[in-house]
Amino acid sequence: METPKILRQGAEGGATLFPVEYFETRAYLAQSPQLYKQMLIGAGFERVFEIAPAFRAEPSDTVRHLTEFTSLDAEVGYIDGAEDLRRLVEELLTDTLSFVRQDLAERENPLAPGIPEPKPPFPRIPFARCEEWLGRAGAEQDLGTEDERAIGERAIREFGSSFYFLIDFPTAVKSHTFYAQRQEADPRLTGYFDLDYRGLEIMSGGPREHRFDRLVENLRTAGLDPAGFPSYLEAFRFGIPPHGGWAIGIDRLVQVLAGLSNIREARLFPRDRYRLDP
């Protein structure tokens, strides 16, 4: 699919939106194609994907963040839960890295031996256990760069796997993600998960809320006005199947595979908080 990159509203709240002048009104650069992916599931497209630019106004001066990056977004309809998505992600990553490794080997590229060989199933690590590892059980705080690095070191020691899922994120941590489905057994938790590699997040996703009344409630809980999302909510008003998906930052994945110390080396003309030229 190919979705618009100039939008009336953002998919993940206003804090990381780039505003633009759009004739007589205000618009924003797309943070992701999230809302369009879900609308297409409701229109009868059971599996969709897009590889396209995304924009995040995050003042993050790190070696893994860009304000303009390329994202691979996918959405799948008729799922039974988060495990369906995690298995698809495992297959996708395993097949992709196998292809990259073989292609580089045929080209006698010296990077070929360093391409990781993931072996599914990847460990599933509940967020609550991560907080115990960090010595702050029950705090329900979002994970920072150093937190993720510490979790990665512990995960490798405990499970012997460089790839692992962080699962069962609290609603308090993913509160900006209004479309994240809450768990039936414990609404304080979402079905959302991250896929990490050696302490670096490379993918996030999960089941979406497909029930109209609960989606409206989630919007209000996130401090958003449902009246600002008329076209999006219209797709849910008459029913939409259970669905979910994920997004992979292509630049960050290239950084990992090429063993680059800075994500800016993975992009020809990187954009960050201070770089607008060339």
**Residue-wise DSSP of 124-172:** EEEHHHHHHHTT-TT--PPP-HHHHHHHHHHHHHHH--SEEEEE--BTT
Spatial distance between the Cα atoms of 61 and 272, rounded to a whole number of angstroms: 8
| 157 assigned to active site | no
Spatial distance between the Cα atoms of 112 and 104, rounded to a whole number of angstroms: 5
- Six-digit token string for 242: 């259970």
Choosing from 204, 208, 209, 264, the catalytic residue is: 204
| 136 assigned to active site | no
| 210 assigned to active site | no
200 forms bridges with which residues in the sheet? 197
> Under a CB-based contact definition with an 8 Å cutoff, are residues 192 and 204 in contact?
yes
Choosing from 12, 68, 83, 201, the catalytic residue is: 201
Choosing from 86, 210, 252, 264, the catalytic residue is: 252
| 140 assigned to active site | no
- Six-digit token string for 153: 């070191």
| 252 assigned to active site | yes
Choosing from 12, 58, 140, 217, the catalytic residue is: 58
Choosing from 56, 129, 210, 243, the catalytic residue is: 56
Positions marked catalytic: 56, 58, 64-65, 201, 204, 252
